[in-house]
């Protein structure tokens, strides 16, 4: 009995020792297979419990958020220390392009307006009569709506005496002497080259009370020119006249060679000018084919009429010789000499 009990206890003890040896061997084999010292394997469990891992992960996230918050706060502090830039005021230049566009639109519209009118070339003409009555003239264009005149007041015996000055032929001084002697005021239509070359004569015209009208810069055929070129021809002559005389040029324009179109009359009016044609004229501009004093006088005696706008070229020796007699004859017929300002 006793022997059996001892043997059974020994078996149980042996079994426990055997299991312990097996477990120890397994741990040692695992440690050496991972090259991990045994002491370390004991310190660090082979697998961390799930609750502990979740807790560690949460702590890492909190730490990361805290670090990110610290970095952002540092950046904000840096920005707050930097000097603040004032908002730049919008420059006035930014508004200018719009104004420039508006001006350009207006200009284009004005060009289009003038381009809707006929630009057919016309040469001024009138039809004489033998009854000393105001002559008829072209009727294709309603010139009245373009401030254009070829007659003055036809209800009264008035004469409007005008001279064209493209260049000087040595007679203008004498003409001015005759007008001064007879106390007659006339109108002289001058070009820019004439003003430039005859500054003293032009100043004398102004000083003695005559109208000095605009006859362009280069004496061109106006319908062949565009709007800007026509404006230059007129405006530049007026500008230079003021530079020389210190007075504004009166707003009267005579188309070179009497050539025009409805479009050019419109442009001239838009510039503020009255266009002045004529109801009396003859071939007096050819300096190499002058008809003489008698012919010049006869032309006026046969064709005078109420409201006559007489065109004489100042380069004509015939006109200069006959001028005094013409003035006296017309006064004898009951005429007075009027200014274009009375149109």
Active site residue 164: yes
- At 114, the pLDDT band (50, 70, 90 cuts) reads confident
Identify whether the C-beta of residue 282 lies closer than 8 Å to the C-beta of residue 322: no
Phi, psi of 260 (to 5 degrees): -160, 175
Digit-coded pLDDT (tens) for 175-193: 999 999 999 999 999 999 9
- Tens-place pLDDT, residues 62-110: 555 555 555 555 444 444 444 444 444 444 444 444 433 333 333 434 5
Active site residue 3: no
Among 147, 164, 215, 299, which one carries the catalytic annotation? 164
pLDDT at 259 over 60: yes
pLDDT higher for 249 or 3?
249
Mean pLDDT of 216-243: 98
| Alpha carbon distance 234, 256 (integer Å) | 11
pTM of the model: 0.68
Helices (H), 85-150: 96-115
Confidence category of residue 113, pLDDT binned at 50, 70, 90: low
pLDDT of residue 115: 77
Residue 37 pLDDT level (bands cut at 50, 70, 90): very low
Higher pLDDT, 216 or 83: 216
CA distances from 84 to 78, 80, 87, 117, 322 (A): 12, 8, 9, 62, 88
Write down the catalytic residue from 219, 304, 305, 313. 313
Query: Is the model more confident about 213 or about 48?
Result: 213
Compute the average pLDDT of residues 6-23. 49
Q: How many angstroms separate the Cα of 337 from the Cα of each of 36, 208, 232, 284, 331?
A: 134, 15, 32, 21, 8
Radius of gyration of the chain (CA): 55
pLDDT at 237: 98
Strands (E), the chain: 122-123, 126-127, 136-137, 148-149, 158-165, 187-190, 211-214, 252-253, 259-260, 274-276, 308-313, 336-337
Spatial separation of the C-alpha atoms in residues 264 and 286, rounded to whole Å: 27
Query: What does the pLDDT read at residue 320?
Result: 98
Please check the confidence at residue 226 and state whether its pLDDT lies above 90.
yes
Which phi and psi angles does 291 have, rounded to 5°?
Answer: -75, -15
Domains of the chain by start residue, with CATH? 1-41 (no CATH), 118-342 (3.20.20.370)
Look at strands 158-165 and 187-190 and give their pairing.
parallel
For residue 51, name the pLDDT band (cuts at 50, 70, 90): very low
Structure confidence at residue 271 as a pLDDT band (50, 70, 90): very high
Question: Whole-number mean pLDDT of the chain?
Answer: 80
Number of Cβ atoms within 10 Å of the Cβ of 203? 16
């Amino acid at each position: 009995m006793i022997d059996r009990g001892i043997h059974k206890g020994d078996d149980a003890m042996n079994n426990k020792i055997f299991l312990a040896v097996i477990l120890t061997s397994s741990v040692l084999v695992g440690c050496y297979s991972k090259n991990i010292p045994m002491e370390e394997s004991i310190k660090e469990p082979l697998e961390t419990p799930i609750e502990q891992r979740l807790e560690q992960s949460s702590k890492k996230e909190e730490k990361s958020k805290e670090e990110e918050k610290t970095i952002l706060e540092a950046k904000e502090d840096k920005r707050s220390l930097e000097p603040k830039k004032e908002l730049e005021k919008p420059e006035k230049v930014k508004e200018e392009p719009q104004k420039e566009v508006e001006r350009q639109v207006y200009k284009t519209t004005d060009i289009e307006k003038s381009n809707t009118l006929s630009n057919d070339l016309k040469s001024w003409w009138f039809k004489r009569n033998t009854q000393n009555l105001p002559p008829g003239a072209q009727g294709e264009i309603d010139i009245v709506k373009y401030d254009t005149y070829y007659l003055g007041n036809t209800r009264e015996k008035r004469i409007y005496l005008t001279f064209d000055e493209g260049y000087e032929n040595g007679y203008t001084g004498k003409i001015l002497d005759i007008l001064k002697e007879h106390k007659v005021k006339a109108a002289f239509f001058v070009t820019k080259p004439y003003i430039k070359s005859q500054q003293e004569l032009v100043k004398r015209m102004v000083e003695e009370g005559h109208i000095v009208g605009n006859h362009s810069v280069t004496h061109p055929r106006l319908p062949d020119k565009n709007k800007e070129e026509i404006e230059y021809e007129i405006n530049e002559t007026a500008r230079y006249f003021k530079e020389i005389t210190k007075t504004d040029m009166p707003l009267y324009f005579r188309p070179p060679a009497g050539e025009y179109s409805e479009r050019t009359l419109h442009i001239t009016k838009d510039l503020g000018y009255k266009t002045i044609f004529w109801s009396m004229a003859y071939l007096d501009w050819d300096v190499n084919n002058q008809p003489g004093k008698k012919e010049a006088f006869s032309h006026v005696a046969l064709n005078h009429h109420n409201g006559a706008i007489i065109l004489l070229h100042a380069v004509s020796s015939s006109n200069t010789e006959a001028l005094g007699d013409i003035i006296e004859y017309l006064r004898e017929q009951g005429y007075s000499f009027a200014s274009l300002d009375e149109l």
